[in-house]
Amino acid sequence: MTTTAGEPGVRANPTEARDLVERGIAAARGGQRRVAAGLLARALKLDPRDERAWLWLSGVVDDPAQRAFCLQAVLRINPNNPHARRGLAYLERQGTTTARPIADLAPPAAAPEPAADAAPAPPPTPTAQTRDWWIQWRWQRRETSRVRIVLWVLPIVLLAVALILHQSVSVARERALAALAAEQEPAFTVETVLATPLATPTPIPALEAEPLAVVESLTVSYLTAIDAIRADLRTATAAYRQETSQPGGASINHVAATQRLRATVAQALANLGELRAPGVLLPAHEDYRQGLELELAGLDAILNFYSTYDVANANRAALRFQEARAFIERAQAGFQAQRQLLGEMSLMSAYTIR
């Protein structure tokens, strides 16, 4: 490094300054005028007599007075520079006659007149030229390596994100299909999710205040209506399973199938609310109602999962389905026990409706 003439406090670093000039020129050609101005200004602080840096800086500054200052600096270094002369002439025609310095940049000292008997300056040594070429080559190689790494890593990251989303959808669908395969009711189960312990079922009362014939009639009517509701749910569940188990199915088809199953469960819940449950079946009736409500909550969570792909919605759906299965299985046990009781009573009572 050498000290610049006229600026004793600034040390010239031609190698680093040349690197900054090249980067500034590249930024100017790419349309990044502010970036180019900053790089060229830094280069001129290291080497104020860089003719190219002053010339390119005049092309990226916005103020005409600062542009004139840069062109005058070029002429101080090389009075015969044609580009600087044409640029100053153009600015004078535009009415710009004064030059305004750029902050932190001082004009370079004028080129000294060569003495008549002075020997010409020796050309740069091959060692310095080789070193500059080596630095430039290493910088270009480093930038190329960075671009290559980005081009390799970006597709891998995108592929990993796509695989994670696909796996999340597949896991949620497989959980639903596994539960549908095990049960004919629209209840889902997941082994890895622990449900909150449920309360002990309410004992079924053994006696009714109404006459036995009336109780049997109400019970038979209620169980017949329940069988119709359950048959509709089984049909809807089978259709849902067939639509969502097709290989390569689109998510929009799964969403439509889930919405149809939800509509069937909601209708079943509404039909259940219109039934009058006998006293002996009130606990099973309430369990079945809560199970259908949990089914609706689970299906809503599945729809939210398809819209956001948030795994928390899939876990929430699995938990609701497991709780729903517990209530529905307990209700089925109550219905089955009452059917057996009616079968035994029909053998002993002449008042049983046949």
Residues 157 and 190: their CA atoms lie apart, in Å, by: 30
Of 331, 237, 337, 262, the residue nearest 291 (C-alpha): 331
When the pLDDT of each residue in the chain is averaged and rounded to a whole number, the result is 78
156: confidence class by pLDDT, cuts 50, 70, 90: very high
Q: Residues with Cβ < 8 Å from 196, sequence gap 6 or more?
A: 323
**Cα separation of 37 and 41, whole Å?**
6
Domain contains 273: yes
Secondary structure letter of residue 30 according to DSSP: T
Domain membership of residue 173 as a residue range: 165-348
**Sign of the alpha-carbon torsion through 211, 215, 221, 224:** negative
* In a shared domain, residues 104 and 188: no
Residue 142 lies in a domain: no
Residues 87 and 205 in one domain: no
**In whole angstroms, how large is the CA radius of gyration of the chain?**
43
Number of domains making up the chain: 2
- On whether both 171 and 101 belong to a single domain, the answer is no
Listed residues 92, 111, 130: the one ending a domain: 111
Which of 91, 111, 131 terminates a domain? The answer is: 111
- Is residue 286 in some structural domain? yes
Q: Are 15 and 132 in contact (CB under 8 A)?
A: yes
Q: What is the pLDDT of residue 309?
A: 78
Q: Which of 196, 173, 179 is nearest to 243 (CA)?
A: 173
Question: Residue 205 pLDDT > 70, yes or no?
Answer: no
pLDDT tens per residue across span 106-145: 778 766 555 444 455 555 444 444 445 667 777 788 888 8
Please indicate, yes or no, whether residues 30 and 177 belong to a single structural domain of this protein: no
pLDDT at 314: 83
In angstroms, rounded to a whole number, what is the distance separating the alpha carbons of residues 149 and 276?
70
CB 203 within 8 A of CB 332: no
219/337 same-domain check: yes
Neighbouring C-beta atoms of residue 297, cutoff 10 Å: 16
Same domain for 175 and 98: no
CB 145 within 8 A of CB 29: no
pLDDT at site 257: 85
Least confident of 86-100, 170-184, 330-344: 170-184
Name the nearest CA neighbour of 202 among 287, 329, 276: 287
Residues 85, 225 share a domain: no
For residue 60, is it left (φ>0), alpha (ψ between -120 and 50) or beta? alpha
The verdict on 311 and 219 lying in the same domain is yes
Compute the average pLDDT of residues 271-279. 87
The pLDDT tens digits of the residues spanning 212-252 come to 667 778 888 888 998 999 899 999 998 888 888 776 566 78
How does residue 195 score in pLDDT terms, banded at 50, 70 and 90?
A: very low
**What's the pLDDT score for residue 326?**
93
pLDDT band of 254, cuts 50, 70, 90: confident
